[in-house]
Structure 1
Amino acid sequence: MTSSADLKPYIIFGYGSLIWKNPGRVVTLIHKEDWDHFSASDAFPEEDIVWGVAHTIDPAQADEVREYLDYREKDGYTVESTDVYGVVNGEEEALIQGATVYVGRPDNPSFIGSQPIEDLAQRIFRSVGPSGKNSVYLYELANAVRKLAPESFDSHLFALEKRVKELEEETLNRS
C-alpha cells in the first residue's frame, strides 16, 4: 500500500490569477514563438522574465486539485510541463523540474490570441465579470508580481496597467 508520504508532490507554476487569487482571466502565458506570431506590433521584450508562483500540492489532494484546474483552465489553455527557475545567491538555477503549467496555445479553439495594447487596455477598462472588474484583476496581478520579485520587470503587464490607469484618469477628468 502506498502512503501519501511516498507520492511525488504535484507542483503547479502559476501566473495571472494563480498568483494572487483564483477567479478571472485577463492574461495567460504563451510561448515566445506564438507571441512573435500574434504580436507583430508588440515586440517580445527579450529582457523580460516571467515571474510566477510554484504551488506545491499535497499528494493526497493532487488528483482533486488537478481535476479542478483542468476544468477551470479548459478554455484556451493547454497543460504542459516546465522547469521552474529561481535566483539563488545572484545566480539563476532550476529549482523545480516538471511543474505543471497552463499555457495559451493557438491550436486550442478557445485561445483568443493577442490584441494591440490599446485595444486590450480598452477591453480591460470596460469589462466586468463574475469575479469583478477586469482592471482590479490587472492591478492585483501587477502588484503581486512586484511583491513576488521586486527586481523583475514585466514590460507588457506594466504598460497595460499604466494605460488602464490612464483611461480611468481620463474618465474621472471628464466627469
Structure 2
Amino acid sequence: MSEPFVVFGYGSLIFKPPPHVIAQVPGFLKGYVRRFAQKSHDHRGTPENPGRVVTLVHKEDWDKFSASVSYALPSDAFPDDDVVWGVAYTIDPAYEAEVRDYLDYREKDGYTMETLDIHGISPEGAETIIIYNAFCYVGRNGNPSFIGSEPLDSLAYTIWKTIGPSGPNKDYLFKLAESVRELSPDSYDSHLFALEEHVKKLEQEHSSHSNIRLESVPNGHA
C-alpha cells in the first residue's frame, strides 16, 4: 500500500485548501522562515506589476542572503525561534493524480515540490513530529520569481497597491495572517504580523486622506 499523499500548506493553501481533502491537521516546520520573497505574476499581480507572495527559505540560507543585502537587516530582525505554521492536508488516494496536477498548475510560478517533516504540539505540550515527508511547494532562491529580502516599508507598499487576477495582494496578506492566528493557540509569525500591521497602516492613511479630500468638496461631490 502506498503512502498517503499529504501536502503542507503555508500560504494560500491555508485559506484556500486543495480539493478532495479527507483529513487535515495544523502543524509547523522548524528551521525555515516564511517570507514574502516571491513575485506573483499570475495571481496577486501582473507581469508588469508583480505582487508578492510567500515562500519557504531555510533559516540558515535566509540569514546568509539577508546578510548580503545591507539594507535588509533592520527590516528582518525577527526571533530565531519563529516557526512556520500551516496545515497538512491528506488527499483522497482516488484523486491523488488529479490533485497533484491541480497543485502543479496552481503553484507553477516558480515553485518546486519538496518533502519536509511536519511538527506539532502533543496533548502534553511537547513538540513532536506528526507527519514525516509531507509534500510542500517551495520557491527556491534560484527560481526566476524569487526576489529575496526587501525593506518592510517597501514590501508593504507593493502589497498594498498591487492587484492581480486572483484579487488584491493585500487580501492575500490579510487572509493569511488571519488564518495563521486561527490554526492553534501556539501559532504565530512575527514577520507576517509585522507586515500586516504596516499594510493596515497604509490602508488607514489612505482612508484618512480620501476623507479629507471628500470633506473639502461641497456636498461631497467631485
Query: Matched residues in 1 for 2:114 and 2:176: separation?
Result: 22
TM-score of the superposed pair, with normalisation by structure 2? 0.72
Give the structure with the higher percent strand. 2
Structure 1 counterpart SS, 2:60: helix
Q: 2:6 aligns with which of 11, 19, 27?
A: 11
What is aligned with 2:158? 123
Say yes or no: does 1:157 pair with 2:192.
yes
What is aligned with 1:3? none
Which structure 1 residue ranges, 5 or more long, are not aligned? 1-5
Structure 2 counterpart SS, 1:19: helix
What is aligned with 2:91? 57
Structure 2 counterpart SS, 1:26: strand
Q: 1:73 aligns with which of 91, 107, 112?
A: 107
Query: Matched residues in 2 for 1:151 and 1:46: separation?
Result: 16
Per the TM alignment, residue 44 of structure 1 is displaced from its structure 2 partner at its CA by 4.8
Query: Matched residues in 2 for 1:79 and 1:44: separation?
Result: 27
Query: Matched residues in 2 for 1:63 and 1:12: separation?
Result: 13
Query: Matched residues in 2 for 1:105 and 1:8: separation?
Result: 26
What is aligned with 2:168? 133
What is aligned with 1:36? 63
Query: Matched residues in 2 for 1:53 and 1:11: separation?
Result: 10
Q: 1:106 aligns with which of 138, 141, 144?
A: 141
Query: Matched residues in 2 for 1:114 and 1:124: separation?
Result: 14
Say yes or no: does 1:168 pair with 2:195.
no
Kept in 2: contact 1:104–1:111 (CA 8 A): yes
Say yes or no: does 1:143 pair with 2:178.
yes
Query: Matched residues in 1 for 2:134 and 2:64: separation?
Result: 26
Say yes or no: does 1:86 pair with 2:120.
yes
Structure 2 counterpart SS, 1:39: helix
Query: Matched residues in 2 for 1:76 and 1:113: separation?
Result: 13
Residue type at the aligned position of 2:156: A
Residue type at the aligned position of 1:72: R
Query: 103-112 vs 152-161, which deviates more?
Result: 103-112
Per the TM alignment, residue 125 of structure 1 is displaced from its structure 2 partner at its CA by 0.4
C-alpha RMSD over aligned residues: 1.7
Query: Matched residues in 2 for 1:164 and 1:12: separation?
Result: 29
Query: Matched residues in 2 for 1:141 and 1:118: separation?
Result: 19
Query: Matched residues in 2 for 1:44 and 1:100: separation?
Result: 26
Query: Matched residues in 2 for 1:140 and 1:38: separation?
Result: 28
Structure 1 counterpart SS, 2:53: coil
Q: Detail structure 1 runs of 4+ shifted over 3 Å in the superposition.
A: 22-25
What is aligned with 2:23? none
Number of paired residues? 170
Which structure 2 residue ranges, 5 or more long, are not aligned? 18-42, 45-51, 68-72, 211-222
